[in-house]
A and B are shown apart, each in its own frame.
Chain A
Amino acid sequence: MSIKIDSLQVNIGEKKLLNNIHLTIPPDKLTLLIGPNGAGKSTLLKACTGDIAPTSGYIRLNQQPLHQYSAEQLSTLRAVMTQDYGIAFSFTVREVVSMGCFVYEQQIARSERECIVDDVMRFMHINTLADRQFTTLSGGEQQRTQLARVLAQLWHPYTHASPRYLFLDEPTSSLDIFHQYQVLALAKQLTQRNIGVLAVVHDLSLAASFADHLVLLEKGNIVTQGKPADVLQPHFLSAVYGISAEFFQHSEKFKPSVIIKETMRA
């Protein structure tokens, strides 16, 4: 049981956004997508969530074709955090996070839902902001609020027999360094609860530190995929990003990182 992507192709008009993608997202792994701007990372993620229909090829979620699921069925199997999340009206942080409980609202008592909301807000360190209006928050605080909402969706049942999935499109783009590492550490924890995580990140060191499986995309193709140490090789980095850089780990005590010698492209 996993998400299996087979010969996936996505076109918009004449333009090929994704080409011949083969990828498996297992429920016990943190899979990270990296690649330069416009490589097709978000498109791949949106295809997996069902927001974009494939032009050709297949996506199977737990062995069933993705398009055969209803929105309601999918909502119990996966949660999604998108890049843009404008909220038109002034909901409080607690109200926004509570919306994540919509999926199982009928199944559990109000007090239990409140506990879940408290839990995830504490997790994302936004419990002190609970009664603030979402629109008055800083970018990072808004992002953490949305993350808390997405987590709430997967908080009940806490563990599930059939695998579930979490999709995060640049979840760390507005976060400070502490919260960047915290969010990915949390994503990694989720994989122990039978939740497969697919996330887009830009920071290569962050990717090196956390990915179980790293996928490098360029111009709609997968250049290489595998363990971070194998993917973040100098020849791949120079070919895709135009940087001269290396995968580096000081010792077991330190997280690995990508160190840059120089940028080659103007």
Chain B
Amino acid sequence: MPELTTKSPLTPTTFNTQQQAIPFSLGLLLIIAVIALAVGAVPIPISEIFSNIINGSTLENTYSTLDNTPSLNRIILFDIRLPRVVLSIFVGAALGVCGAAMQALFRNPLADPGLIGVAGGGALGAVMVIVLSNSLFSQFTQTVGIYALPLGAMLGCLGVCGIIYRISHHQGHLTVMTLLLAGIAVNAIVGSLIGLLTLVSDDSELRELTFWTMGNLGGNHWALTFPVLCCIGISLFGILRLAKPLNIYLLGEYQAQHLGINVTLLKKQVFFFTALAVGAAVSISGMIGFIGFVVPHLVRLLIGPDHRFLLPTSMLFGAGLLTLADIVARVAIIPAELPIGLITSAIGGPFFLAVLYKQAIKISQ
């Protein structure tokens, strides 16, 4: 009988990769975030960023310099770039974590948050506001002002998610197979409604909604960003707490139940938090594809499927990747901007293919 008592819990390589993934991705995110604050149409030296953040980190201080005129760089830093970078971090984190959670919920590596209607619902809400703001919804747009578009998108999200939830919810149980099929059907209906609205839109509306579906993180100040950050923050906290139950859930629904997990409650929590986080993200940034699908997939290839590591690493990696993509979006064609959805697909696609290719070589050897 081989002696096993001195054996380490996991092979050194697996264990180390898992342990190091979180600090590594956190470091990467911080570096990307600092670069994101520095580069842009007006470059700000990194030393100035640090001195500004250390000396006067609050907005009030920005305006209380001796001559009462804040430096241009400070305004750019605190009013334009910081909210944008913070937003990209939160939106990227939400997409990364929710993608991982969806893939666990459906027990399928091909799932993404779009399946439960967040993307389609958000788009429908946004398109309705854009196209109908001058006619049907003029009252609504006047009342809520700048919040009209994000609010419309968020309501669309929650509405469509709610319909899909109601269809798949029977006698206290949420059936994953029904959820998947209902998601596909409802998304198709939503798609046709969007098409219908596109048909009746004029040229400028058409342009606006086209750009909305390609995503954009710019032009949002703190007043718009803050509610989104709150929604995403709550959801991320909620989902990260579910890491262990989600691991057990991957054994199978009955098996998880036998191990003492309230499977129905777990599924409902994942559904709710994902709808809230991605709904909030979509409402302000438009549709940003690929991150929610590719990030968790990539992280799983690197460190394995254990959600205690997979969820936080996907969160940090998603945040880093989206922030990086946003840098490219801002600087690629100064003074104009590229839609970020194009960049995430353009960076993420080839990167993902390269990893797949490497994996294929590894397996065939």
Contacts and interface: CB of A to CB of B under 8 A. Distances in A.
A18 B1 CA distance: 45
B5 interface: yes
A148 to B, nearest CB: 13
Interface in A70-84: 70-76, 78-80, 82, 84
Contact of B2 (A127, A131, A149): A127
A96 interface: yes
Contact of A103 (B5, B250, B260, B262): B260
B109 interface: yes
Contact of B304 (A79, A90, A118): A90
Contacts of B1: 122
Contacts of A149: 251
A12 B108 CA distance: 29
A76 to B, nearest CB: 7
B159 interface: no
Nearest to A70: B262
Contacts of A51: 254, 257
A96 B251 contact: yes
Contact of B258 (A75, A84, A94, A95): A75
Interface string A55-89: 00000000000000011111110111010111111
Contacts of B262: 70-72
A223 B100 CA distance: 50
Contacts of B61: none
A103 B261 CA distance: 9
A76 B109 contact: no
A22 B300 CA distance: 49
Contacts of A49: 258
Contacts of A89: 107, 109, 250, 300, 305
Main secondary structure on B side of the interface with A: loop
A112 interface: no
A82 B253 CA distance: 11
Nearest to B244: A102
A99 interface: yes
A138 B14 CA distance: 22
A85 B259 CA distance: 14
Interface residues of A, number: 42
Interface residues of B, number: 31
Nearest to B13: A131
Given A90-B304, A92-B304, A79 B258 contact: yes
B250 A88 contact: yes
B210 interface: no
B225 interface: no
A189 B258 CA distance: 22
Contacts of A86: 252
Nearest to A149: B251
B69 interface: no
Interface in B218-271: 244, 247-248, 250-252, 254-255, 257-263
B108 A88 contact: yes
29 contacts: A51-B257, A71-B261, A73-B260, A75-B258, A75-B259, A79-B258, A80-B254, A80-B255, A82-B252, A82-B254, A82-B258, A85-B252, A87-B252, A88-B107, A89-B107, A89-B305, A91-B247, A91-B306, A94-B9, A95-B304, A96-B251, A99-B247, A99-B248, A103-B259, A110-B9, A118-B4, A127-B2, A131-B14, A149-B251
Given A70-B262, A75-B258, 19 more contacts: A71-B261, A71-B263, A75-B259, A79-B258, A80-B258, A82-B255, A82-B258, A87-B250, A90-B304, A91-B304, A92-B14, A94-B9, A95-B306, A99-B248, A102-B260, A114-B9, A127-B2, A128-B2, A131-B11
Q: Which 7 A-B pairs have the closest CB atoms?
A: A75-B260, A89-B305, A88-B107, A72-B260, A80-B258, A131-B11, A102-B259
